Each structure stands twice: as structure tokens, then as C-alpha cells.
Amino acid sequence: MIPAAFEYHRPADLASALSILNTHGDEARVVAGGHSLIPMMKLRMTEIGHLVDLQDIASLRGIEVTSDSVVIGAMTTQHELITSDALATALPIIREAALLIADPQVRYMGTLGGNVANGDPGNDMPGLMQCLDARFTVEGADGPREIKARAYYESAYFTAREEEEILTKVTIPLPAAGHGFAYEKQKRKVGDYATAACGVIVSGDGASVAMTNLADTPIWSEQAGTALAAGDVDGAVAAALAAIDPQEDMRGPIAFKRHVAGVVIRRAMERALTRAKG
């Protein structure tokens, strides 16, 4: 399986990367870890004239934990998310979710930025970022702008990012100390995308519920969060199920997916409630 030919660029900084994107327009595409893009190129479902490799751009890496937020560079790998103790202390749900993505080899390469920028409804980080009310910084020729994760996804593979923009970092406001959390995922085997997955945060400030691979975008349900914050788990599960729109595919028919979603959502809510302190 050999993809169509392309021209390869490896810029050393963001400005050079943006200028290559500007010169070549929609002929150009960035590659981060390549573990969503390269399989698509090998299947010749994506053809690219100019591939812009971001691996040398140091400013796109790193995890910074402050008193009220976490800022993660787009090129930070899933493996780095899992092995960061500072991140696990501040936001343990990220490690819990990242450990459920793919397999070790994929996690060494796959990046947070690639996972959220991709727009594949199967990716786990977009739902999690909606649950956490994260903001994505994208930068183009006109400078940086922020887009809320909850406003980023339009439909499968269509997002609010313009083609000449690069996603540079993800900013996550820290939930209240002692918050309860859970990311629950049902998959057919290790390395598979979710049949259904759900992220939940509960704290004194309220609750947040978002789901993965149950529609053509991640789904954040405000109603489910409100019901859960009021202690009404049954109502919260019902609200979450009302918000999804799963389609039949190789992971099963719609009725099966709705059933699995109900189980996964309830487990996530119950585990988050058990873990909440105070």
C-alpha cells in the first residue's frame, strides 16, 4: 500500500509552516503523528500535494499546568499525556481516556492536536475536550484565534478551522478540586475505536457530559449535565441518549449502539459520582 506521491516539507518553526500552507493552499496538509493521515493516504482516500511535517516545531510541544488551567501543545503525544504526573494530578481524566486509545505504538506517535483537529467522530479526545470545555488555539496568517471545543465540530471531518490554519495548543480550565471524573469506552478489541464512549466531570460547580462516536460529531449534552448535577442519574442518562444520533456500521445496528451507549453513559456517571469528594 503506497500512497500517491507528494512533496515533503519539514519547517523548523510555525511561521515557515504557515507560509508553506499559504503558498500551496488546499494542496498542502500538515502531518503530526500521521496515525490517522497516513492510513488514509495509503488507502488513497486522501491525496496531498505538499505534506508539511510539524515534528521539528518545538513551540508546539509541552504540557503546562497552572493554578487554574492546563495548556497542552498540539504536538504533545498521547504517550506524553499518559506519562505526565503533573497532568495526572491536575486532570486525571486525560490519562484515563488516553490509555483507552489505540495501542502503545499508536500512542507514541499520535498527538493531541492531530486527534482533535482530525474531525473523525471516532477520535476520543474531541468528546473529552467538550466535556472539559477546552479551547483550541488555531493560528493562520492573521494570527491566532481561539475556538471552543464545543463549537469546533461541524460534521465528520468538517471543523471550524480554516485549511491554512494550524492548531497550536489546547487550553483546558481546571475543574474544581476534588471533582469526580470518568471516561468510559466500549470497544470490540484493543486498538479499536469506540462503539460508544462517554466522559463525565462532576463537582460542586456542576456536571458535564460528552459522548464519542455516537453521532457525526462529538456530542456535549447540557441537559444531561444539569440533571446529573441535581443528582438525577436516570434523567441524565435519558437526556444524553436523547442527544445522540448513532448510525449503523460495522460496530452494529442503531438499536445495539443505543443500548451500549445507555450502559456506558450510566457507568461513566456512576464512577464519576463515586470519585467526587465533597
Partner 1 sequence: MSKMHVKFTLNGEEVEGLAEPRTLLIHFLRENLRITGPHIGCETSHCGACTVDMDGKSVKSCTVFVAQANGADVTTIEGLTNPDGTLSVIQEMFREHHGLQCGYCTPGMITRVHRLLQEHPSPTEEDVRFGIAGNLCRCTGYQNIVKAVLAAADQLNAQKEAAE
Ligand X SMILES: Cc1cc2nc3c(=O)[nH]c(=O)nc-3n(C[C@H](O)[C@H](O)[C@H](O)COP(=O)(O)OP(=O)(O)OC[C@H]3O[C@@H](n4cnc5c(N)ncnc54)[C@H](O)[C@@H]3O)c2cc1C
Q: What angle do CA 244, 245, 247 make, to 5 degrees?
A: 140
> Is the distance from CB of 233 to CB of 269 less than 8 angstroms?
yes
How far apart CA 51 and CA 28 sit, in angstroms, is 6
Q: Which of 17, 28, 30, 51 binds partner 1 (CB under 8 A)?
A: 51
> Is the distance from CB of 257 to CB of 158 less than 8 angstroms?
no
Q: Which of 18, 21, 29, 35 binds partner 1 (CB under 8 A)?
A: 35
Task: Tell whether residue 90 is a contact of partner 1 (CB under 8 A).
Answer: no
Task: Tell whether residue 45 is a contact of partner 1 (CB under 8 A).
Answer: no
* Residues in 176-205 at the binding interface with partner 1, rule: CB under 8 A: 190-191
Task: Tell whether residue 40 is a contact of partner 1 (CB under 8 A).
Answer: no
Residue 124 binds what, of ligand X, partner 1, none (CB under 5 to 8 Å, by partner type)?
ligand X
Say whether 220 sits in a helix, a strand or coil.
Answer: strand
Helix or strand (DSSP H, E) at 32: none
Number of residues that bind ligand X (CB under 6 A): 29
Cα dihedral 72, 174, 210, 271 in deg (nearest 10): 120
Task: Tell whether residue 76 is a contact of ligand X (CB under 6 A).
Answer: no
* Residues in 99-118 at the binding interface with ligand X, rule: CB under 6 A: 101-102, 106, 109-111, 113-115, 117-118
Q: Which of 13, 15, 23, 39 binds partner 1 (CB under 8 A)?
A: 39
Q: Which of 4, 58, 156, 177 binds partner 1 (CB under 8 A)?
A: 4
How far apart CA 89 and CA 79 sit, in angstroms, is 16
How far apart CA 57 and CA 136 sit, in angstroms, is 18
* Minimum gap (Å) between residue 99 Cβ and partner 1: 8
How far apart CA 10 and CA 165 sit, in angstroms, is 16
The residue written with cell numbers 474531541 in the block is 126
Binding site for ligand X (CB under 6 A): 29-37, 39, 74, 101-102, 106, 109-111, 113-115, 117-118, 123-125, 166-167, 191, 193
Binding site for partner 1 (CB under 8 A): 1-8, 10, 31, 34-35, 38-39, 41-42, 51, 53, 55, 79, 102-106, 108-109, 190-191
